Amino acid sequence: MLADALRLIRFSHTIFALPFALGSMAVAADGFPGWKMCALILLAMVFARTAAMVFNRLADWEIDQRNPRTSGRHKLLPKPAAFALLALSAGGFIGATIFLNPLCFWLSPVALAIIFLYSLTKRFTHGSHFFLGLALSVAPVGAWLAVRGHFDLAPLVLALAVLLWVAGFDIIYATQDHDFDRAEGLHSLVVKLGIPRCLAVASALHWFMLPALVAFGRLANLGGIYFGSLVLVAAALAFEHRSARTLDVRSINRAFFQSNAIVSLIFIVAVFLDVALRPR
C-alpha cells in the first residue's frame, strides 16, 4: 500500500520544489542551520506536498476516472484511505511547524489553504497554472521563515521565480489534456488560447524566471558559482521547450520531468557551493 500511496502522490516530483526550499534555507542561515532545523523543514515540506497531492486526487476523483491519462489513479488507494492520508499529512505539517517558530505555526493553515486552492481552480479560472506556481512558491518563503522568523525580500523574489517556472512547465504539461479538458468544460490556458500560443506563453514565463533568479542572487549576495549556473538553467529550459514543440506525449513527459529536475538540482548545488565557499 505504501508504494501505491507514493505513486498516487507522485512522490518523485518532490524534487521540483524541495531544492528551492533548501536553497532558501541555506541562504537564510548563511550556511547549514543544523540537523534539527533541516529535518523539520524537510518534514514540513514532505507533509505539505503530500497533503496537497492527496487533496488534489480527492478533489478530482471522478474527473480523473474519466480521463484516459489518469484513469488508473483511483485504483491505487481506496477513498477512505486517501482521506486518512490527507488528515495525517496535514496534521503532520502543522505539527512540524510547532517546532520551528510561532510565525510558521500561525501561518501553517494559510499555507495549507494556498496549496489546496490550486486543486479547485480548473473549475473557475483559466489561470490554474499560476495557482499551482503560487502553491509551490510557498516552499522557499516557508523555509526562510523557519530559519529567520521574519519576511525578507530575497525569498519573495525567489518565490516569484518558482511561480513563473512552475506555471510555465504546467502549461506544457497541460497540453496533454487539451481535448479532455475542453470536452469536460474544465478551464486551463491551453483550452482558452490553444496549444501553439500556450507554448509561447510558457516560453516567455521561463525566460522571465531567469531575471528573477538573477535578482535573488543579488539580494542573497551570491557569487560567481550561482550566477554561472544560470547558464545551465537556461540550457535546461531551452531543451524543455524544444522537446515540447514536438507535441509528442513521450517528449513532453521527458521534458517535464528531466528538464525540471535538472533545473532544481542545478539551483540547489550552485546555492550550496556558493554559500559554503563565500568568504567569512
What is the per-residue DSSP string for 108-169?
HHHHHHHHHHHHHHTTT-TTHHHHHHHHHHHHHHHHHHHHHSS--HHHHHHHHHHHHHHHHH
pLDDT band at 144 (very low <50, low <70, confident <90, very high): very high
Q: What is the mean pLDDT of residues 201-213?
A: 95
In this predicted structure, the answer to whether residue 46 has a pLDDT above a threshold of 70 is yes
Contacts of 270 (CB under 8 A, 6+ apart): 225, 226, 228, 229
pLDDT digits (tens, 9 = 90+) for 68-111: 666 666 666 788 888 998 999 999 999 999 999 999 999 999 99
In this predicted structure, the answer to whether residue 124 has a pLDDT above a threshold of 80 is yes
Q: Domain 2-277 belongs to what topology? A: Tetracycline Repressor; domain 2 (1.10.357)
pLDDT band at 13 (very low <50, low <70, confident <90, very high): low
Q: In the prediction, which pLDDT does 152 show?
A: 96
**Among 234, 252, 235, CA closest to 243:** 252
In this predicted structure, the answer to whether residue 11 has a pLDDT above a threshold of 60 is no
Domain locations in the chain?
A: 2-277
Q: What is the mean pLDDT of the chain?
A: 87
Q: In the prediction, which pLDDT does 75 show?
A: 60
In this predicted structure, the answer to whether residue 4 has a pLDDT above a threshold of 70 is no
Range in 71-75, 76-80, 175-179, 263-267 with the lowest mean pLDDT? 71-75
Question: What pTM does this model have?
Answer: 0.91
Q: List Cα–Cα distances, 188 to 101, 129, 238, in angstroms.
A: 37, 7, 23
Range in 172-176, 247-251, 257-261 with the lowest mean pLDDT? 247-251
Q: In the prediction, which pLDDT does 227 show?
A: 97
Contact 145, 104 (CB under 8 A): yes
Q: In the prediction, which pLDDT does 5 show?
A: 45
Contact 40, 100 (CB under 8 A): yes
**Among 222, 230, 231, CA closest to 28:** 222
In this predicted structure, the answer to whether residue 178 has a pLDDT above a threshold of 60 is yes
**Among 130, 114, 124, CA closest to 201:** 130
